[in-house]
Amino acid sequence: MTLEHYNQRAAAFWEGTRTHDVSQNVAALLKYLAADAPSTILDLGCGPGRDLKTFAELGHTAVGLDGSAEFAQMAREYAKCEVWQQDFLQLDLPVQHFDGVYANASLFHVPSQELPRVLLQLHASLKAGGILFTSNPRGQNQEGWNAGRYGAYHELDAWRQFMTTAGFVELEHYYRPPGLSREQQPWLASVWRKA
């Protein structure tokens, strides 16, 4: 149902998000990648391709992945990158292939009971020392349906537990958007290294 929600609203979603400034998130991933770019980066939940195109324009080998057929096609056309259409609950990723995985506003759609398996798949897809960036709307560990989409809203300690159990080491975390009080920062961003 979540994928169908996005498929039916793909054009409106693109118009509503194409100018969002997520440069802080892009920079958070890139600063931990090896300095000798280009890096191979998976944009997990790439949507219509906004950030995918940014990584490609910065000289990286960027691959998109999205479960929405509409988004995958839009991303191919917009970013001019390879884009895989895959459901997060049925990932088929190459092993030790990516230097970095960028999961901006995507992993929160994975139910908590499935999250450990998905994180292990992402861990396996990263090269030794690879970097995983995540940004999710935060909450008090509640999950369920909201306006046609499934979401899991974790607080920092719970998110850390999922990540460390999957074999990741925390490098940093921060709340977004910057410059506001914590009550006005609904997003939890974090950067992790494959142990």
> Structural domain tally of the chain?
1
Q: What is the pLDDT of residue 19?
A: 76
In a domain, 118, yes or no: no
Q: What is the pLDDT of residue 13?
A: 65
Claim: this prediction has a pTM higher than 0.85? yes
Q: Is it the case that residue 180 has pLDDT exceeding 80?
A: yes
In the chain, DSSP assigns E strands to 40-44, 61-66, 82-85, 98-104, 126-137, 142-146, 149-153, 168-176, 187-194
CATH code at position 40: 3.40.50.150
For residue 143, give both structure tokens.
Answer: 């999950």
In a domain, 160, yes or no: no
Closest CA to 40 of 55, 20, 54: 55
- Distance from C-alpha of 34 to C-alpha of 136, rounded to nearest angstrom: 25
Mean pLDDT of the 178-182 span: 92
Its domain, for residue 71, covers 2-112+124-146+166-194
In a domain, 28, yes or no: yes
